[in-house]
Amino acid sequence: MMTYLLRGLTLTAAMSAIAFAAYGKNPKVGGAAMFETKNIVENAVNSKDHTTLVAAVKAAGLVGTLEGEGPFTVFAPTNKAFSALPKGTVETLLKPENKATLTKVLTCHVVAADAMAKTVAKMIRDDGGEHDIKTVGGCVIKARENMGKITLTDENGDVAHVTIADVKQSNGVIHVVDKVLLPRM
């Protein structure tokens, strides 16, 4: 009986260690655990720092796409990034009549690939210090690396910093950014 009890405790401890190790791989985002077994939308809805992004994705009708197979890389602006836009911009974009513009803005944050920060950094180095990233929205974002940190410059010259990199998802990866990347309009 004692042998069975010890085996059970050993198995429980081993399973806990595995679960902790798997949990430890992904950083928390917006105070929430991010799970590699969940898709981009399933994880994003739990981040308190991405409520505006989630609302925008819903308003643009992109939930189904970002729950899809992928792979996708999403440069996910925080609520603070959205609030830094000129007053009234978010409210205007969320109106049904502006769905096309909102979709364009959001898809300029999405790449049809699974691009971890290490891969992006290598592309930057291989291209001599700057790499053009083409998004599914047709935007071209210029990626650069400075002191181990990746920055993204949108088509208007505004620079976003990757603040949390490599948040693995079942259908890709999220990199949290501190600025909304806007297409040239």
Question: Residue 10 has what pLDDT?
Answer: 34
Whole-angstrom Cα distance, residue 145 to residue 104? Answer: 26
What residue has token string 């948040």?
Answer: 167
Write phi, then psi, for 86 (nearest 5 degrees): -55, 145
Whole-angstrom Cα distance, residue 22 to residue 182? Answer: 35
What residue has token string 């069975």?
Answer: 4
Q: Give which of 77, 90, 182, 95 is closest to 137, Cα–Cα.
A: 182
CA separation, residue 1 to residues 10, 13, 15, 69 (Å): 14, 18, 21, 47
pLDDT tens-digit profile, the chain (185 residues): 434 333 333 333 333 333 334 444 889 998 899 999 999 999 999 999 999 999 999 999 999 999 999 999 999 999 999 999 999 999 999 999 999 999 999 999 999 999 999 999 999 999 999 999 999 999 999 999 988 899 999 999 999 999 999 999 999 999 999 999 999 87
Question: Residue 103 has what pLDDT?
Answer: 97
Question: Residue 148 has what pLDDT?
Answer: 86
Whole-angstrom Cα distance, residue 140 to residue 155? Answer: 7
Question: Residue 146 has what pLDDT?
Answer: 86
Question: Residue 16 has what pLDDT?
Answer: 35
What residue has token string 């409520």?
Answer: 51
144 half-sphere exposure, CB direction, 13 A CA radius:
13
Question: Residue 3 has what pLDDT?
Answer: 40
Q: Could you please report the per-residue DSSP string of 64-101?
A: HHHTSS--EEEEEE-HHHHHTSPTTHHHHHTSGGGHHH
